[in-house]
Each structure stands twice: as structure tokens, then as C-alpha cells.
Amino acid sequence: MTFTPNEITYLTSQPLGRLATVGPNGRPHVVPVGVFYDPEARDIVIGGVEGSGMATSKKFRDAQRHPEVALIVDDLASVDPWLPRYIEVRGWAKTHTSGGGDLGERIGAHMPFDPAYIRIHPRRIVTMGIDTDFFEVSARDVA
């Protein structure tokens, strides 16, 4: 199994994740995104609300040209004491320009999806404070 049950729960527990892509000249780009889990494919879907222009966004164009991406979902379990936790997923992105609407319904998205979406196939997962203690980092290759 790619993700543990706690990781799956955590991945979709936050209102936003942040997706890092690499653009022309090797320059990174990072932007807040909606993060969804596809239980059939066991991978991650980055969907935009209908009409958000996903297909023309920089993240989408970057991922088309350069499929290596990284996604972080994180929060503070507590501010005092300072208890950060996160899951970082590094992997390959595949961009899709159609089918997002049906996919969004199937995976229970809380909004109508744009036809275009990004699917992330995980290669390496790094977590802290999810299945481990706070400040204890766990990393593994999954592909």
C-alpha cells in the first residue's frame, strides 16, 4: 500500500496543500492547491474548481513539460508548544485536460471540478508527526 491509513486521512484533512513544480530554466514554482485522494488509483489528484483555468495555469504547464513535482500538506497540531506535522509527496505528475468533472464526483470532491486536473503518482513520501512522533521524520521510497 502506497499511503498508510493515517496519511490518507491527513492528506485530505487540510483545506490546502502546496504544489511545487519546475518551470523553464529549472526554476521552481509553488502554489496552494486543492488536494484529493483517489482510493481506486491510490494516488493524489490536484483538482481546481470548475472555471478556474487549471489547464492554463503555470503549475499545469510546468507539470506537462517537467513531470517531477512535490506536494506538501502540513499544519501545526499546536502553536504552543510548537508542533508542526506534514506529509511531503515527491513523484511524477500526469496532466489531463478532460475527465475532471466525473473524477471529482467519483472521489467525492466538495466542488464541481474543472475538466483539467493533475494526477500525482508518488515516488517518495516524507512525513513528520503523522505516523511518527513530532519532530521525527520518516522517509521511504514507494515506487
Chain residues binding a copy of itself by CB under 8 A are 15-16, 18-22, 25-32, 66, 68-72, 74, 76, 79, 84, 86, 88, 90
What does the CA dihedral 58, 60, 66, 71 come to, rounded to 10 degrees?
100
Pick between residue 89 and residue 103 the one whose CB is nearest to a copy of itself: 89
Closer residue to a copy of itself (CB): 28 or 99: 28
Minimum distance of a copy of itself from residue 32's CB (angstroms):
5
Structure-derived torsion over alpha carbons of residues 102, 14, 85, 95, reported in degrees to the nearest 10: 30
Q: Give 15 or 99: the residue with its C-beta nearer to a copy of itself.
A: 15
- The residue (of 16 and 41) whose beta carbon lies closer to a copy of itself is 16
Q: What's at 7, amino acid-wise?
A: E
| Closest approach of a copy of itself to the CB of residue 18, in Å | 4
Shortest spacing between CB 126 and a copy of itself, in angstroms: 8
CB of 27 to a copy of itself, least distance (A): 5
Question: Which amino acid, 9?
Answer: T
Q: Largest alpha-carbon pair distance within the chain?
A: 45
> Is residue 92 within 8 Å of residue 120, measured between CB atoms?
yes
Nearest to 72 by CA among 117, 124, 115: 124
Q: Is 31 helix (H, G, I), strand (E, B) or coil?
A: strand
Q: Which is nearer to a copy of itself, 18 or 61 (CB)?
A: 18
25 DSSP 8-state letter: G
**In the complex, least distance from residue 42 CB atom to a copy of itself, rounded to whole angstroms:** 21
